[in-house]
């Protein structure tokens, strides 16, 4: 099979880029795989694609950011999509040309706006697979309304959790579109797993408010009060860096909490720790949770929508605590810090339980979905309609009506505000 992934910007850093590169690398062992990056802003990508995966870009911002068409807003890429401001008539044109000329059997879109392009512009003979790397409920009503209209022309829509797949089935009217959960995969570790003896807690991710590294730091202060020889290492970069540095100073934790900057890959850093930590208010999946567990670390995480609850088995391979509850987070960390045997046992369970996110089972699932989408498209059949009874249809219509009303109200409010200026 010839597979083409359509991605926003393969030259940056982020979870969608990582999981796309991982899946493409695994698929290239048996298939012809390319990654098409809509945008490019640097000579080399931050992540190195597999040698067997072709990487090409449609718009090179180093030379074309001042192109006349790039100064005009996109018409196909939905206006309510988070990245709309980075798209233009130029990206509309290049994506349309790319899809029209593709010789791929299946094209995989990796974000809502690109899934819309795929649904509306891919040739009839090409199987269309849209990926959701966030969640349906995270999208504004106007975007959900746009997706309902376009996504009906997809063959398959994948989400990273079963909970989000269920949301799509219940809330969207997508007859004939197959909706399935396809979790992200994490490559098999190359280093020996952690043995649980290091007095180190490790956290990683973008330093942005939703990740709540401030809560981890404040919770870790409870650990330091009893165990001053333990350390917290936070890997990543972002807008919260200076605020987190000030928080560390104000709590007197300069000898215990360290902002380590970005590290790629993270495996060598995970194995130096004994406990992983994640405190997001919202986490569609949780790649760092799986990475830490595959390296032998039990993870203390907030039980936020949707990923952590489907990754961590509370009390077996990690701990789940309420979102925003610093006291509960600190108590969960202390439970693992105090009990060496429990920490070691849960680390072993983490390695075993996280194997379901290894490339093998995830890639096998992806291959099956892609092949069945191609066969259905070639045979003139649509994807399986999924679990939809009359109550699901009525519920979907209700959600559609509410989103449409919210979108209309938002548009009216913006019009009124413009009139007052």
Instruction: Note whether 18 and 121 are same-domain residues.
Output: yes
In the block, residue with structure tokens 């009216």 = 412
Q: What is the CATH number of the domain that holds 102?
A: 3.40.50.2000
The answer to whether residue 101 sits within a structural domain is yes
The pLDDT, as a whole number, for residue 279 is 98
Determine the pLDDT at residue 379: 85
Check whether residue 49 and residue 153 sit in a common domain.
yes
Total domain count, the chain? 2
User: Is residue 420 in a domain?
Assistant: no
**pLDDT value of residue 420:** 55
**In a shared domain, residues 378 and 307:** no
Same domain, 398 and 325: no
pLDDT of the residue at 14: 81
192 domain-assigned = no
Quick one: pLDDT at residue 246? Answer: 98
Residue 295 and residue 262 in one domain: yes
Does residue 297 sit in the same domain as residue 316? yes
193 in a structural domain:
no
Distance, in Å, from the CA atom of 297 to the CA atom of 291, rounded to the nearest integer, reads 9
Write phi, then psi, for 109 (nearest 5 degrees). Answer: -85, 150
220 and 322 assigned to the same domain: yes
- The verdict on 12 and 148 lying in the same domain is yes
How many other CB atoms are there within 10 angstroms of residue 220's CB atom? 28
In a domain, 310, yes or no: yes
Could you tell me if 134 and 17 lie in one domain?
yes
Same domain, 137 and 206: no
Nearest to 65 by CA among 46, 36, 88: 88
**pLDDT, position 186:** 87
Query: Hey, is 171 helix, strand or coil?
Result: helix
The answer to whether residue 233 is domain-embedded is: yes
pTM of the full predicted structure? 0.84
Q: Please check whether residue 421 lies inside any domain of the structure.
A: no
Q: Within this chain, do residues 302 and 403 fall inside the same structural domain, yes or no? A: no
In this structure, the answer to whether residues 171 and 311 fall within a common structural domain is no
DSSP string, 147-164: HHHHHTT-SEEEESSHHH
Query: What pLDDT was estimated at residue 409?
Result: 56
Q: Does any domain span residue 117?
A: yes
Separation CA 185–CA 181 (nearest Å): 12
> Which residue segment(s) compose the domain that 168 sits in?
2-185+361-382+393-410
- Measured in whole angstroms, how far is the alpha carbon of residue 53 from the centre of its chain? 21
Q: What is the mean pLDDT of each run of 10 residues along the chain (421 residues)?
A: 98 89 94 98 93 98 98 97 97 98 98 98 97 95 97 97 95 94 91 97 96 98 98 96 98 98 93 98 93 98 94 98 98 98 98 94 95 91 51 58 62 51 56
> Which residues contact residue 246 at a Cβ distance below 8 angstroms, ignoring those fewer than 6 apart?
none
Say how many CA atoms lie within 13 Å of 340 toward its Cβ. 4
pLDDT attached to residue 231 = 98
* Centroid of chain to Cα 101: 29
> Which residues is 127 bridged to in the sheet?
106
């Amino acid at each position: 099979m010839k597979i083409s992934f359509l991605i926003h910007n393969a030259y940056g850093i982020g979870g969608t880029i990582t999981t796309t590169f991982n899946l493409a690398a695994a698929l290239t062992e048996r298939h012809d795989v390319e990654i098409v990056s809509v945008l490019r802003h640097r000579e080399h990508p931050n992540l190195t694609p597999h040698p067997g995966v072709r990487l090409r870009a449609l718009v090179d911002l180093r030379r074309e950011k001042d192109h006349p068409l790039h100064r005009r807003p996109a018409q196909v890429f939905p206006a309510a999509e988070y990245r709309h401001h980075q798209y233009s008539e130029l990206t509309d044109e290049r994506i349309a040309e790319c899809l029209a000329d593709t010789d791929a059997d299946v094209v995989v879109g990796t974000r809502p706006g690109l899934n819309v392009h795929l649904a509306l512009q891919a040739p009839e003979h090409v199987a269309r697979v849209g990926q959701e790397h966030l969640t349906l409920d995270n999208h504004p009503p106007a975007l959900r309304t746009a997706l309902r209209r376009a996504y009906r022309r997809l063959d398959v829509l994948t989400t990273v959790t079963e909970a989000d797949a269920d949301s799509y089935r219940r809330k969207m009217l997508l007859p004939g579109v197959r909706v399935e959960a396809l979790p992200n995969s994490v490559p098999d570790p190359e280093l020996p797993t952690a043995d649980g003896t290091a007095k180190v807690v490790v956290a990683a991710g973008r330093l942005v408010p939703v990740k709540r590294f401030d809560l981890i730091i404040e919770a870790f202060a409870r650990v330091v009060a009893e165990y001053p020889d333990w350390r917290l290492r936070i890997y990543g970069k972002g807008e919260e860096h200076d605020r987190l540095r000030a928080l560390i100073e104000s709590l007197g934790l300069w000898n215990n909490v360290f902002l380590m900057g970005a590290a790629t890959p993270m495996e060598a850093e995970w194995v130096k720790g004994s406990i992983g930590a994640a405190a997001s208010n919202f986490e569609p999946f949780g790649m760092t949770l799986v990475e830490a567990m595959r390296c032998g670390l039990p993870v203390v995480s907030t039980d936020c929508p949707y990923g952590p609850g489907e990754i961590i088995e509370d009390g077996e391979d990690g701990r789940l605590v309420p979102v925003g509850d610093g006291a509960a987070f600190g108590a969960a960390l202390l439970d693992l810090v105090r009990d060496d045997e429990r920490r070691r046992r849960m680390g072993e369970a983490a390695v075993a339980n996280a194997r379901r996110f290894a490339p093998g089972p995830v890639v096998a699932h992806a291959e099956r979905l892609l092949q069945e989408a191609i066969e259905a498209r070639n045979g003139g059949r649509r994807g399986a309609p999924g679990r939809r009874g009359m109550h699901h249809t009525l519920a979907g219509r209700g959600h559609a009506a509410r989103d449409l009303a919210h979108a209309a109200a938002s548009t009216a409010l913006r019009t009124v505000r413009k009139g007052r200026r």
